[in-house]
Amino acid sequence: MKKQIVICMGSSCFSRGNDRNLEIIESFLAEHQMQDQVDLRGSRCEERCDRGPILKIDEKIFTHANQADILKILRDNLFTEE
């Protein structure tokens, strides 16, 4: 089943780092040729601005998803199933 990544594009998360995180995610998917296995979409404010930037992968919600963490989050959550 395809993984679902939802990145909050609300103004708070966007300015807190999801603008750059989106670029990192897109590069990661391209580098690993995973674009067909992952649905990536943006969402409006997830009403957790104080804990942003917010990223969701399937049912998991990641708060304070900063650039230092994002690659680890992607690796840990996209490579779990064969």
Q: Which residues bind ligand FES (CB under 6 A)?
A: 8, 10-13, 45-49, 52, 54
CB-nearer residue toward ligand FES: 47 or 81: 47
CB-nearer residue toward ligand FES: 29 or 46: 46
The residue among 37, 59, 36, 44 whose CA lies nearest residue 13 is: 44
User: Shortest Cβ distance from residue 1 to ligand FES (Å)?
Assistant: 26
Q: Is the peptide bond before 53 cis (omega within 30 degrees of 0)?
A: yes
Q: How far apart are CA 7 and CA 52, in angstroms?
A: 10
User: Shortest Cβ distance from residue 22 to ligand FES (Å)?
Assistant: 12
User: Shortest Cβ distance from residue 10 to ligand FES (Å)?
Assistant: 2
CA angle 20, 41, 68 (to 5 degrees): 30
